[in-house]
Chains A and B, each alone.
Chain A
Amino acid sequence: KAGVTQTPRYLIKTRGQQVTLSCSPISGHRSVSWYQQTPGQGLQFLFEYFSETQRNKGNFPGRFSGRQFSNSRSEMNVSTLELGDSALYLCASSVAGGSSGNTIYFGEGSWLTVV
């Protein structure tokens, strides 16, 4: 059973540009969530999607957005990139999310460097 797949693994962008990251959840998983990991802030929740609907959102500016497709695949977008957006962006999936027993599994992440 394939795990959570994220693309691209590494990318470098310039300040002011925008970036789109992609995530394919584990087959059968309908909940996809995104996290940002930085040395200073650790792992922080960005948002979570289920059945193409955003159910929960973390404390990030509106430059961070996401969406989920009917096949449960998800993308997140960051517009007007800032140097501080440099981070490891992690996607996670679970069967349904939120209920006891719906364990969350992570992908390997997308390393974003903003220069």
Chain B
Amino acid sequence: GQQLNQSPQSMFIQEGEDVSMNCTSSSIFNTWLWYKQDPGEGPVLLIALYKAGELTSNGRLTAQFGITRKDSFLNISASIPSDVGIYFCAGQQSGGSNYKLTFGKGTLLTVNP
């Protein structure tokens, strides 16, 4: 089946540092989504990307949809303690009957104040 390779698995950074994480796939996706999940909660949508090459920002977060449609990255600038959590990438294919998200394994982010 389809798999998303998300890296790194975990990051431990100092407050104020920038963070970068990425996802790659062997399959093409028409939509890339980035979610953040806090302990005991459901994933919260951060950024949605719908076009190859698209670069989208949401505050300190920036994400890009790779030109090949097989990859995406998420950058967080000037990290703060509340950025702590698990970040997931997800790819979605459209058309036909394939209405589902394929998730990466997540990146655990720890921010040291």
Contact B33 A104 (CB under 8 A): yes
Known: A98-B99, A100-B50. A106 touches B94 (CB 8 A): no
> Which chain A residues in 36-84 approach chain B with CB under 8 Å?
42-45, 48, 50, 55-56, 58-59
Contact B100 A56 (CB under 8 A): yes
Contact B98 A56 (CB under 8 A): yes
Known: A99-B94, A103-B33, A103-B48. A45 touches B41 (CB 8 A): no
Grouping DSSP codes into helix (H, G, I), strand (E, B) and loop, the A interface class, with mixed when no group exceeds half, is strand
Mask of B41-57 contacts with A, CB within 8 angstroms, 1/0: 11111001010000000
Interface residues on B, range: 20 to 34
Return chain B residues, CB-CB under 8 Å to A50.
99
What is the bound-complex CA distance between A109 and B44, given in angstroms?
A: 12
Contact A59 B41 (CB under 8 A): no
Grouping DSSP codes into helix (H, G, I), strand (E, B) and loop, the B interface class, with mixed when no group exceeds half, is loop
Interface: A107 (CB within 8 A): yes
Interface: B31 (CB within 8 A): yes
Interface residues on A, range: 20 to 34
Contact A45 B101 (CB under 8 A): yes
What is the bound-complex CA distance between A58 and B99, given in angstroms?
A: 11
Contact A43 B99 (CB under 8 A): no
Of B15-23, B77-85, B102-110, the segment with at least 4 beta carbons within 8 Å of chain A is B102-110
Contact A98 B105 (CB under 8 A): no
Mask of A95-115 contacts with B, CB within 8 angstroms, 1/0: 001111101111111010000
Mask of B1-43 contacts with A, CB within 8 angstroms, 1/0: 1000000000000000000000000000011010100001111
Return chain A residues, CB-CB under 8 Å to B106.
42
Contact B98 A106 (CB under 8 A): no
Interface: A31 (CB within 8 A): yes
4 closest residue pairs by CB, A with B: A98-B99, A106-B42, A43-B103, A45-B100
